[in-house]
Amino acid sequence: MKKLFSLFFIVIISMFVLGQPVQASMRLTVTSRENRFVEGVRNTKIVGQIEYEGVASNQVINYLGANVSQYENLNVVVGDTYKPHDSWGRGTIFAHIDDVHKRYPNYQVIGGVNGDFYNTSITNLNGQPSGGYIRNFEVIAPGVISTRPLAGFKDDGSVIFGVPCYSGYQLLVYDEDGALKKEVAIERINNLPTASDKITVYFDNFDTPISSAHNKVIIDAKETKMDGVRYFGSGELNTMTELDVTVTDHTFVIVGTDFNEDGLITDVDYVVVQRKIGCGFENVRFAVGVYDEIVTNGIPVTYLQQGLDPSFKHPRTAIGQKADGTVFFVVVDGRNKPLGMDGVTLYELAQIMVYFEAVKAYNIDGGGSSTMALLNEENGYDILNTPSDGSVRAVTNSVLIVKGEHIPRPNPVGFPDPRIKLDRPMNLYVDAQGDLRFDPIMHSLSYMVSVNGTLMASEDESFTLSLQPGEYVIKVRALADQINYKHSDYSEEFVLIVHPNEIQRFMELLKSFLQEEIKD
């Protein structure tokens, strides 16, 4: 019995010392393992040695993951530092994190890794991602290489891996609340329509005047991306004309016979011109380009044709998903043998992803781009791995785990919009207790109060103000169910000046004195 117990004890000890072998072809010997958790996101750092097909190598491996399908307040997003117009641009993962915080106040980045590979030219295409890129439902880039797979992230926490398909261009018109009014097929780019029921779009790389009798709807572009073959644009209405026009910088022009005579695009709407995406990626909020599939149904892939030198050891980055919905990233350091960072082949990377229980995994851009960051106690970010360049490389985009729920996407409303718009609130004033008050609006569910641009919710027609001395511009909007009724316009602006306490006391004394004088 003692011999049996000793054998059992030796087996248990060896599992902790040697690690769990993924398959007979790989063994991981763990020298040290560190675990930490930040806001529900787990980081594991393993220092040790792997043996694969008889070859041993020293490795430093970092894991970062969270169960985004189970927890609504954990999600995966993408970040970039693309310029609004004319070019793309690159940034470090720190810059991409900052970009996410600026774009989406509802997210707090916890950690993440570098994203897709990119155009390395010195032209305005520097930083253009090789694969597709979707940011908050907008197909910013369809990918220079159309056969490249994507990792796409939906609002329910599910991840879509695979090669998307594209079918021409589409014009999407959203109302001021972000609800889709209408989708219109775009026949072609930088050419006139071939029929009266078709529209085309001209971008500002078209230098000659648009000469025709068509309606021309000029859009002030918030963002444009183009390389002469692929196009993206978003923005708001500038004007509409039948006259000949030349596309000015940072605009694009929608052209069509009688287009917009029905008032489809108004001055409060937001329009997007993009490639129409399909094959499972229609409702993806964020997506980033990846390389090879290295784990299928929990089995490591053993033959690869693409990716960065599959059989050579390099720093590597990968994304995977477990059976329970956990999304995780792995970065393996390399090109630094003196520090025990030999790097891995793609086949070894696949084995490592299975070690971490991946049922599906893809290789991401690696080498000097491989980077993993995590939030620290000072609300800054630590780089967990050792980038082989000696510093963090500027890349095209990053994939990041964030804390914070997605802002729900409104249901499409159609055009013409059948809903009744609520009346806007009237008679704003501040009462003696310092509360903002206004007339109630029939059929409203609640109200949105804007104070110098900061939005706050109110359940009824009063709102307690807590303001420092200063000048404030206040306006209020009635919120509807968005099914039978739609939100109102904002009220007229109400300007409130809050004086320091000393001035307020003086004004109260003066008011009291004047009232006494009137009585006398």
Cα–Cα dist 298/279, whole Å: 23
Per-residue pLDDT, averaged over 69-80, amounts to: 96
Q: What fold characterizes domain 169-275?
A: Jelly Rolls (2.60.120)
Residue 422 has pLDDT above 90, yes or no: yes
When the candidates are 2.40.100.10, 2.60.40.10, 3.30.420.40, 2.30.40.10, the CATH number that belongs to 420-504 is 2.60.40.10
Cα–Cα dist 167/114, whole Å: 29
Across all residues in the chain, what is the average pLDDT? 92
Nearest partner of 158 among 78, 73, 70, 79, judged by Cα: 70
Phi, then psi, of 323 in degrees rounded to 5: -65, -30
CB atoms within 10 A of CB 262: 10
Which tens digits make up the pLDDT trace of 134-150?
A: 999 999 999 998 889 99
Cα–Cα dist 466/449, whole Å: 13
Could you tell me the two tokens for 476? 């209020």
Which tens digits make up the pLDDT trace of 304-324?
A: 865 558 999 999 999 999 999
Domain ranges of the chain: 2-71+294-387, 169-275, 420-504
Cα–Cα dist 75/230, whole Å: 29
Which tens digits make up the pLDDT trace of 211-259?
A: 999 999 999 999 999 999 999 999 999 999 999 999 999 999 999 999 9
Name the helix (H) or strand (E) containing 16: helix 2-18
Give the total residue count for the chain: 520
